[in-house]
Amino acid sequence: MEGVPFHCGTMISTSAAFGALFLIVGLNAIKLTVEENERLQKTCGVNMKEVYRYSRKVLNGTAAHAGESPWSVAVYLTDAHAKTVYTTGTLISDLHILTYDSIFLTNSTDGIRFRDNMDPIGTGGLNCEGHNLVLPKHVVRKTSVFLDMLRADRFSGKDRLSLRKVTVVGGCKRPFRLNRLAVVELTKAVTAKQKARPICIAASVPTPSYTFYGYGDNRGDVMDATLRHTKLSLTPCPVPSKDIFCVTAQNPLCNGDFGGAAARRIADTVQAFGVYIDGPFECAQLDENAVFTFANLTAIARSVCSLTGVCGESTLVTTTTTTAPTSGTTTSDVEREEEEWPDVEIGTKRVTNSDVIENDSESGSVTKTGSAHPESSEADNKTTAYSIGTGVGVEETRGTSSKPSGETGSQQDGFTGTGSPVACPVKSEDETDNDIHITIKLAKYRKTGDPKDIVHIFRGPKSYA
């Protein structure tokens, strides 16, 4: 085996198995519909083998058994040196895989380049969808996915899946940097006979420990590309951020492990809390104190939901719509509470994304205020507040691309970070006389299950404040 080692994964020789790949037709994302997502949430992560088994200890982790980690897939790319690099991916639906960006991109002395041809990333312009970077067709054509792999270098007889689209979450945010989450969209859905099953995206904040599956690094004399698992323990990050969490590992994570999930069984389901995106390069020299960085899936669940339609419990939001009481009515007469999907497009269902979003950092909730249906004739008399529990937010500082004209200041920034409970769009006193805004905070309730921990915050006319 020869070739220059890359940060993203292990080199293996190019094989005839990587023949002509399917061409991509169009780049509009294929998302799960609401109905498909509901079915997924009932079946993801269930009936899987116990993931907490630590038996024979070997170099770089314990070898996995067939069917033990059906969400772990192998992602391959043919690079500019005609070598094939691979890394781990995490299946979250029959069409979508999470991995990390550096399987597709690489750092050089003069900036970030595409790994498949070493062209600068800005060649031909960047294809940005909001803050997300859509990778060009030449990258997608040279990438493929294999399922049900216990060894990443033995894909003979395995089904090769081609890609339709690859999106780097937050990849268009400046300054440009690597080590971000990437979402892979397949051209064809995974079938039951292919022995792959999606894992659930966790709905709660990171836990103290996890199990991790990945294809390792094992370069040089010890290279064997075996799918292995090891135990992870939560540890403080050198540079804390809500979008990441850090761990130490019982056995060091290596280059081919990037894109693998930090998983844990919660009740009857196996859930992914994070995806490995950054860590030391020379894993063979690491000890148990080495720190590895994971994208916090709970924190960026809305972005994943928006891109894929895979929307777990953490992206469900509580919606309360109300109008001010009039003669002969009470608040209870006009209040209506229900569970809805967040402010994203899911399949064919679309909710507008032109309202103010503000972050309540103290309580761990995100509140969205404004009319969700501006085309409605009742929009002027109703206000819908979306409240999302602890751990759900946006990555870094988010601006918006579809603000109504006339919004300035903190409204354009998307998140104020001031910690104020609810900030409704600024209106004149006359405009607010007939509006009452109710935000229901569920952060503490989700931890305790005690209805007494549900917090209601009222904002509106002076007579009801």
- What integer pLDDT is reported at residue 438 of this predicted model? 65
Question: Cα dihedral sign for 19, 24, 29, 30?
Answer: negative
430 φ, ψ (degrees, to nearest 5): -65, -40
Token duo for residue 45: 């992560």
- What integer pLDDT is reported at residue 84 of this predicted model? 84
- What integer pLDDT is reported at residue 295 of this predicted model? 95
Q: Which CATH code fits 10-17+30-305? A: 2.40.10.120
| Other beta carbons less than 10 A from residue 311's beta carbon | 25
Beta-sheet strands, E only, within 347-397: 356-360, 365-369, 383-388
Token duo for residue 303: 């972005």
Task: Specify the pairing of strand 269-278 against strand 200-201.
Answer: parallel
- What integer pLDDT is reported at residue 437 of this predicted model? 55
The DSSP code sequence of 400-458 is -S-PPTT--THHHHS---S--S--PPP--HHHHTT--EEEEE-HHHHHH--GGG-EEEE
- What integer pLDDT is reported at residue 360 of this predicted model? 36
**For the chain, what are the domain ranges?**
10-17+30-305, 316-464
Rounded CA separation 244/266 (Å): 20
- Mean pLDDT in consecutive groups of 10 residues from the start of the chain, 465 residues: 37 35 48 91 76 36 57 89 88 94 91 94 87 95 82 64 94 88 94 86 85 69 64 94 93 87 89 93 81 94 93 59 37 32 35 32 35 36 30 34 38 32 39 56 68 66 42
120 φ, ψ (degrees, to nearest 5): -60, 145
Rounded CA separation 163/439 (Å): 41
- What integer pLDDT is reported at residue 455 of this predicted model? 72
Token duo for residue 194: 């292919």
